[in-house]
Amino acid sequence: MIFIKEYRTMRSATRSRPISACTVGLLAFAIGAQSYAEGLEFSDPKQLNHILRTNERVLQFEVGGDSKRMIYHVTNLSTQYGELRVAPLSGNAEATRINTSNLRDYDMSADGKYVVYTTSNSPFTSANRLNSQVSDMSEPAVQLIPALSSGKEVARPEISPDGHTVVFISEERQNNLRELYSVPITGPSSSRVRLSGPLDPPDESSVVGVGGFYISPDSSTVVYFARPPGSTVAELYSVPIDRSSEPVQLTDLNTNNRRISGSIMFSPDSTTISFVSNQGVNDVYNLYSIPINGPKESAIRLNHDSDGESVRDSRISADGTTIVYRSAGSSSDLLYSVPIDRSTEPVLISPIPVFDGDVSQYYEISSDSSTVVFKADMHINNVSEIFAVPINGPSTSAIKLHQDLVVGQSVATFDKIELSPDGQSVTFRIDDSVADNLTKLYTAPLDTANAAVDLTPMLVNDQYVQSSFKLSADSEYVVYIANQEDDIYELYLATLDGQQPPLKLNAALPDGGRIGTTFLSDKNIVRISADSSSIVYAAEQIASGLGGLFVVRKIDDEICFVTVASNNKVVTFCL
């Protein structure tokens, strides 16, 4: 007989040495067991980071898009020296240091194959080197620029979505003159090209030049901000990533200190960008779209003509046909949708809320571009709820995705609407101080009213789900932090179908230990691999005050057998 306490040992053994069908049959016959397909299960945690030296702390970590390894940034609190390390997610090899001098900044390619990073001679000098490194460390690092002389800086390295090119800002030609460059990720440094056009020279006390940039989804084009010669206002430009043609100015803001508000958005096919700006009328911000290659005269204003209303923010649908935007009216913020080329007029898609109610900044478009999900205090002021509406409206077709809430209940604050990657559901928290003082986690289908499922039904008074929950890429599960067993916040997993009880992922925490660390913000505590097989989290799991990085990995499907022995103990073995 194999009892529960022996279960993990045998489970491990059956993976390394498969048991024959004959053996399975004999075991099942011998104990009269019944078989079942085991639910979602993860391994015990393994520590991924190296043994931290005195005063070393993890500041940030990322999981590669290939789901094979992770990189993490460590700093020494005494010396301020920074290191970048890479570790396999298997946990079966030691973390390897990537940089040889002080780390300043880094980026990882979307496929996880490359890491680029800047370094400086000391923690107190500017970054003056830029290198790329194959993340499996099978090849030596490649120098992407000549080392800059003292006082000059290289900044903001970013890898193109296709993983082929690095775009960065550099003072290579003159101190305090920040220009935009690109270079193949494999080098050599001599192949770098300057992307930005003419700029005014800096004076002795100021830094001038490129203020920021964006790379198009197809990796063909870079859009950047810079002040043209003689101007005091930054304009928007686009340029091919290899500078096969000259930069093109996309805006004309050099009047009355006008500007662009918020981020630039690309259509998925990279043909069009959109932005919010007061370039037409002071103090009124409008939504524009323009071909990515210009000219600036081809910009189209997308929002409605109501006087005194400004666009606050917007989203582009995954199919690139539609923009949804939030506009500030005289009494409330509302949602509209409009074709990206304004081939038809904007349509109001959110209902008119109660007096002083608003549609919040938390709204997203489903991955199939059919539905907009938004948070609003639509029916009771200061009682936020979640709604869904077809992307083209009408507003009367909006549905509430959960039960009616009352004063003292509200959908909790979060960084964004957490739509499942398959576009079928939304996950959110509800604060409830009416019957109990608690925060619970729910999921709801986008096409059915009042159908939310409580993923944490076991929570009672003074138990809370924190805001830093994450959804798996396969839309199978959500990982969250809660104090659902006692006063200690720990890491749990719940399936989005609500069919499996929550699973605790972390090992037992020491006295004073916790999920997360002092130097990581709540939203950076957990990462899920792109294939949904690995969950990496930061925790003080070894000792209080000593943060580390740990991984739990999905266990492959197994056939398990259970029976009851003569002494009434449950017997389980899995193959």
How much is the average pLDDT of 224-236? 91
Sheet holding 221-226, edge to edge: 212-215, 221-226, 235-240, 248-249
What are 323-347's pLDDT values in tens digits? 999 998 777 899 999 999 999 999 9
Residues 421 and 494 in one domain: yes
Burial class (CB in 10 A: 0-12, 13-18, 19+), 355: exposed
Domain count, the chain: 2
Residues 431 and 497 in one domain: yes
What are 292-313's pLDDT values in tens digits? 999 999 999 999 876 557 899 9
Residues 494 and 415 in one domain: yes
Angle CA 380–386–392, to nearest 5 = 110
Q: How far apart are CA 260 and CA 425, in angstroms?
A: 33
What pLDDT sits at residue 503? 95
How much is the average pLDDT of 41-50? 95
Sheet holding 284-291, edge to edge: 260-266, 272-281, 284-291, 300-301
Burial class (CB in 10 A: 0-12, 13-18, 19+), 524: middle
Residue 26 confidence (pLDDT) above 50? no
- The answer to whether residue 473 sits within a structural domain is yes
Phi, psi (5° rounding) for residue 156? 50, 55
How large is the greatest C-alpha to C-alpha distance in the chain, in angstroms? Answer: 91
- The answer to whether residue 27 sits within a structural domain is yes
- The answer to whether residue 496 sits within a structural domain is yes
Contacts 24+ apart (CB under 8 A), 330-339: 331/355, 332/356, 332/357, 332/358, 332/359, 333/358, 333/359, 333/360, 334/359, 335/359, 335/363, 335/372, 335/374, 335/389, 336/303, 336/304, 337/372, 337/391, 337/392, 337/393, 338/287, 338/302, 338/303
Residues 481 and 569 in one domain: no
What pLDDT sits at residue 426? 97
Q: What is the CATH number of the domain that holds 457?
A: 2.120.10.30
How much is the average pLDDT of 389-418? 92
List CB contacts of 473: < 8 A, sequence separation 6 or more. 421, 528, 529, 530, 531, 532
Would you report the helix, strand and coil content of the chain in percent, each value rounded to 5? Answer: 5, 40, 50
What are 532-573's pLDDT values in tens digits? 999 999 999 999 888 999 999 999 754 455 455 555 444 545
- The answer to whether residue 145 sits within a structural domain is no
- The answer to whether residue 465 sits within a structural domain is yes
Q: How far apart are CA 552 and CA 320, in angstroms?
A: 37
Residue 20 confidence (pLDDT) above 70? no
Residue 575 confidence (pLDDT) above 80? no
Residue 280 confidence (pLDDT) above 80? no
Q: Of 461, 481, 505, which marks where a domain is finished?
A: 505
- Beta bridge partners, 82, equal 75
Per-residue confidence band for 437, with pLDDT thresholds at 50, 70 and 90: confident
Residue-number span of the structural domain to which 500 is assigned: 401-505
429: which DSSP letter?
E
Q: How far apart are CA 531 and CA 472, in angstroms?
A: 8
What pLDDT sits at residue 565? 53
What are 444-496's pLDDT values in tens digits? 999 999 999 999 999 999 999 999 899 999 999 999 999 999 889 999 999 99
Residues 494 and 563 in one domain: no
